[in-house]
Amino acid sequence: MNRTVMKKAALHERAPPNRLRELRKRRGLNPEELGALVKTSKTQITRLENRTRNFTVDMLLRICGVLKCTADEIIDLPVRGINKTECDPTLLDCAVGFLLEACETYKLKPESKQIAKWTTLIYNNAVDVGLNVMQTRALADTLVRASKGK
C-alpha cells in the first residue's frame, strides 16, 4: 500500500462519523453550492463528507451557520445534559470543534459517546464558570491530553 493510501486510511479511522452529506442534501445544496457559501471548494466539502479530511473549528462554525444546525448534529454526537433549546449554539459548536482539534493533535481516536461526554463537560464548565473562548479551548486541550496519558 502506498503512503497516500495509508495516510487516507489512517485519517478515515480517526475522523468521527458525520452527517454533513445528509444535512447538506436536506437543505437542497450540492457540494459546490455549500462550498461557495462557506468559502471553500467542492473538493474540501466532499473530503469532509467522506471523512478523508477533519473539520477545523473555523470550518465547522461556518458550515453550522450556513446549514442552520449545531456541530453536534453534524458530527452526530449523542450529547446529553445540555438543554439545546436554551444553550448558546456557538459555544456548543466551539466546544465540539476544540475537542476534535485536540483529538487530532494528540492522535486520540475516541468514540462519539466519549466526545459527547467531553462536550457536555466543557460546555457546562464554560457556562457555569464563565470561561472565554481561549479558556474553553485550553480546557478541551487539557481534557484530551489527560485522557491520552491514561
pLDDT, residue 13, reads 53
For the chain, give the mean pLDDT: 86
Question: Could you give the domains of the chain?
Answer: 3-148 (1.10.260.40)
| Radius of gyration of the chain measured on its C-alpha atoms | 15
Q: Model's pTM, two decimal places?
A: 0.74
Distance CA 106, CA 21 (A): 27
In the structure grid, which three cell numbers stand for residue 82, read together? 445540555
Which of 5, 6, 9 has its CA nearest to residue 109? Answer: 9
pLDDT, residue 2, reads 52
Count CB atoms within 10 A of the CB of residue 35: 19
pLDDT, residue 30, reads 97
Residue percentage of the chain with pLDDT more than 90: 51
Distance CA 108, CA 122 (A): 17
As a residue count, the chain comes to: 150
Residue percentage of the chain with pLDDT more than 70: 89
Distance CA 92, CA 97 (A): 9
Per DSSP, the residues of 18-59 read: --HHHHHHHTT--HHHHHHHTTS-HHHHHHHHTTSSPPPHHH
In the structure grid, which three cell numbers stand for residue 129, read together? 464558570
In the structure grid, which three cell numbers stand for residue 136, read together? 474553553
- What is the torsion angle, in degrees rounded to the nearest 10, for the CA atoms of residue 133, residue 136, residue 142 and residue 144? -110
pLDDT tens readout for residues 101-149:
998 899 888 888 888 899 999 999 999 999 998 999 999 999 999 988 7
Distance CA 52, CA 36 (A): 20
pLDDT tens readout for residues 61-105:
999 999 999 888 898 777 888 887 788 888 998 999 999 899 889
